[in-house]
Structure 1
Amino acid sequence: MNRKTFRLVVLLAAVSISGILFIQIFWMGKAFDLRNKQFEHNVNLALLNVTSTLCEINQNEILPDPIEQLSSNYFVVNLNNKIAPGILEAVLKSEFQKREITEDFEYGVFDCANSEMVYGRYVNLQENETSAPASSQFPKLNKDAYYFGVYFPKKTSTLVGDMWIWGFSSLVLVIVVVFFSYTLFAIFRQKKLSEIQKDFINNMTHEFKTPISTIALSSEVLQSPDILGQPERLTQYANIIKKEATRLQNQVDRVLQMATVEKHSISLTLQEFDLNELIGHSIQSTRINLKGGGNIHFEPGTQPLIIKADKVHLTNIIYNLLDNAVKYNGRNPEVFVNTTIQDDNYVISIQDNGQGIEKKDLTLIFEKFYRIPTGNVHNVKGFGLGLYYVKMIIEAHHGQISVDSTENGTTFTITIPKNQ
């Protein structure tokens, strides 16, 4: 599947899932509104019957539009006469049960003659219990008629609870979305690994092609009958074959070593040595690669910096970072190395004056096989294993490595605790 087709499939899948989510949310809202309207309709009918019953008891006429809904769960009923709380509660229970209204409610009665609110009760229809009102005071309304108020404190939670089938379907949909998201993540990751594998094979082909071609050419020269009469030339080509064979062997060993490290935990051989001395030897080895100018600056302190670590691995990672600072510089390399002790940690910083690393690559340079894209140019050799190896070794020492880069250069900072 090419990149264009892959993006189209992902886009269509994302649009489909978004559409399903929108439809689910839309119909959940519609269902809730429908149940809410049905509840309000039932309450209005029940309260209308309550009003009719009370008016019959008081032998009064029903006022026009006696029921007012002040909020989604608070209703007020206007009457022409006093209201007996005991009778009101009995009639409310009866009418609500007829309308299958099972929500708990509170009622309050206002006596216009005394200009005071006579509180009713909190009624639990399911358990047939009453208690003092749990809500705040019913508001005093500017009305001339007698009235009572009915408040449903748990209306919303009850309606939501009755919509359990919608909740279940929403849960299933969430699981589907999570699974879909994980699948997309796995697909992107697999695609990324496939691209990394492809880049690795290309890099490996370039890395192996040069020594193999050199060995093949040198072998053809050695097959010439005239070479036997030229011992110096014979020795020269023999050394070339040995050098390229050693280089090829080192490349193979590096790949096999990384595979072995991944399968087994890294075994460190800890020993005490002078960190400044080790860095000094690594700098001497790296200076051989300086061509056309440049320098590596390092001023160790007068006192030895004794560290307990794996000397072989630590030498490899210091040399690797120094070698990268020279190879990827793009200018006359000026590298500055510094060692300090901060908060019981050994801190090693390696700063160069190169062209820097783009932000999008900074978080990827420590991944296995990753190399900063250079198009079709392959002027710097490598498999993309160096910084991955560096990070693994530092973490095996319980340390950390960080990188900071600008257009004026890059700084790698290694922190290793003194107590391993």
Structure 2
Amino acid sequence: MKRRSVYIAIFIIAILGLFYIQYKYLKIGVSLATVQFKKNIDLASKNIKRDLADETQLTFLVGQAITDDDTYFKLSIDSIQDASKYFLKDFIRDRLALNGIDTDFSYTLIARDSSFSLKSPNQFKSDENLVTFPIQLDGYLPELSKKDTVLELQFKDINPYLLSQLNGLTIPSLLFMLIIIVIFIWFLKSIYWQKQVITTTNSFINNLTHELKTPVFSINLASKMLGKDLDENKKPFLQIIRQQTERLNKHIDKVLELGKLEFQTKIFELKKVDFKPYLIKICEDFEALSKLDDVKFSYVLNEDSFLIKAEISHLENAINNILDNARKYSENPIIKLTASKVKNQLSISISDNGAGINKKDLNLIFKKYYRVSNGDVHKVKGYGLGLSYVKEVVKKHKGKVKIESHVGVGTIVTIFIPLIHEK
């Protein structure tokens, strides 16, 4: 829970950092866009000034409008002025577009002494935070009016326009950040839901296995009491009861231990120990069992000692589990255990002559509840918990498990546990 909170905090800080960096980049982008806008305005102003310097149909019409001269037209001066306003606006829009400016504007053509003015059809209000760019005209119009003439271009607050020019960068960035946030939230919800399912499942399994402990204990106790006065010809049946009871008990313990390993790491205490005597005991016990089941078992324990940090009971269970798998998955089992020191590690290798495991299953056998099957039939009964338990135990010992297998030849399972070197 604490680790998850740290991850969430780091993610929130990272997202806030990304937003802050995006904001900074946005400010820089707006500044650069402002510089580019002013540069484009300068270029457009030069083009407008140059084109209005000569006498053309447009400048002639505008000149008649600002001098109130209707001599050449069969129209009222008001109509001439209205027409010139629209034609001049179209002309300015065209010159701005040629220089990369495509935003709303207004204009005012005015004399320095304010003796005349010609305003665009659309006029912005004075309180709209206008940006004005004056163009001092030369040539035909000032000479015609005999007055200094200025064309003022007005733009509303250009920041929205500048931001729209950056949409190719800002919108994808914001979109990707939103996608990251949505995926992270979905991931957290999935993890929370999965953890709830696992917790509920484990709680159910733990309760069930604890409930099974009582009848198993009772059966075991009853079988011992029956053995005292039982006929010799019936004792083999009693032995079967004891073996199956013990087997069931081991399965129950395995389920309980795996649940504890996954959710209560504090119960796993590593202690410095020479593991060789324990390994000898494991081999001797399995050797005795092998004689009863017609299993050919041999073992070689090299070196004088195996000094490691271990939780004895769990490591013993893990090794016994591998040995039990080698016995169960072989028709005429030939099993060999070899222990030695390899590159500062204790190597415990268990080989068998079983059916082997194909490559597809090798990547999945350590998953909880996964079992290798032959078609839809599991030849050996079980719950798919054994190797999951082995991997968890070895992981707690800071070691690793390696499996080599060939179908029809056999399997070699090797456990590596770090050794302690005495000074």
70 and 293 in structure 1: CA distance in 2 versus 1, 3 angstrom threshold: farther
Q: Identity of counterpart residues, as a percentage?
A: 25
Structure 2 gap ranges (5+): 1-35, 59-93, 102-132, 137-149
Measure, in 2, the Cα distance between the counterparts of 1:46 and 1:101.
18
Q: Deviations over 1:129-188 (max 9, x none)?
A: xxxxxxxxxxxxxxxxxxxxxxxxxx9987225986786566445534554566667778
- Which residue is equivalent to 1:110? none
- Which residue is equivalent to 1:327? 328
Q: Say if 2:274 is the partner of 1:268.
A: no
Measure, in 1, the Cα distance between the counterparts of 2:37 and 2:274.
85
Q: Is the 8 A contact 1:292 1:332 kept in 2?
A: no
- Which residue is equivalent to 1:343? 343
Q: Say if 2:420 is the partner of 1:419.
A: yes
Residue 266 of structure 1: CA displacement? Answer: 0.9
- Which residue is equivalent to 2:124? none
Residue 362 of structure 1: CA displacement? Answer: 2.9
Q: Is the 8 A contact 1:42 1:101 kept in 2?
A: no
Q: Aligned AA for 2:405?
A: S
1:411 alignment partner, SS class:
strand
Residue 346 of structure 1: CA displacement? Answer: 1.9
Measure, in 1, the Cα distance between the counterparts of 2:192 and 2:373.
23
Q: Say if 2:47 is the partner of 1:51.
A: yes
Residue 291 of structure 1: CA displacement? Answer: 8.1
Measure, in 2, the Cα distance between the counterparts of 1:57 and 1:190.
80
Q: Is the 8 A contact 1:42 1:99 kept in 2?
A: no
Q: Is the 8 A contact 1:196 1:369 kept in 2?
A: no
Q: Deviations over 1:338-369 (max 9, x none)?
A: 33323322222223333332334334323333
291 and 259 in structure 1: CA distance in 2 versus 1, 3 angstrom threshold: same
Q: Say if 2:396 is the partner of 1:409.
A: no
Alignment of 1:5-404 (within 5 A): 50-57=46-53, 91=135, 98-99=154-155, 159-160=165-166, 168=174, 171-172=177-178, 174-180=180-186, 231-233=231-233, 240-261=240-261, 262-263=263-264, 264-274=266-276, 278-287=278-287, 288-289=289-290, 295-301=296-302, 303-310=303-310, 311-329=312-330, 331-373=331-373, 377-404=377-404
360 and 159 in structure 1: CA distance in 2 versus 1, 3 angstrom threshold: farther
Q: Is the 8 A contact 1:336 1:350 kept in 2?
A: yes
Measure, in 2, the Cα distance between the counterparts of 1:44 and 1:96.
16
Q: Aligned AA for 2:283?
A: I
Please report the TM-score for the alignment, with normalisation by the length of structure 1.
0.50
Residue 323 of structure 1: CA displacement? Answer: 1.8
Q: Aligned AA for 2:273?
A: Q
Q: Is the 8 A contact 2:354 2:410 kept in 1?
A: yes
Structure 1 gap ranges (5+): 1-39, 74-88, 104-154, 223-227
Measure, in 1, the Cα distance between the counterparts of 2:187 and 2:260.
33
Measure, in 2, the Cα distance between the counterparts of 1:319 and 1:50.
91
Residue 99 of structure 1: CA displacement? Answer: 4.8
Measure, in 2, the Cα distance between the counterparts of 1:391 and 1:170.
38
Residue 192 of structure 1: CA displacement? Answer: 9.7
Q: Aligned AA for 1:413?
A: T
Please report the TM-score for the alignment, with normalisation by the length of structure 2.
0.50
1:404 alignment partner, SS class:
strand
Q: CA RMSD in A?
A: 5.8
Query: Size of the alignment, in residue pairs?
Result: 302
Q: Aligned AA for 1:270?
A: K
Q: Deviations over 1:294-345 (max 9, x none)?
A: 63454343x413323444433322222122122123x433434333323322
Q: Aligned AA for 1:98?
A: Q
Q: Aligned AA for 1:51?
A: N
52 and 396 in structure 1: CA distance in 2 versus 1, 3 angstrom threshold: closer
Q: Is the 8 A contact 1:348 1:413 kept in 2?
A: yes
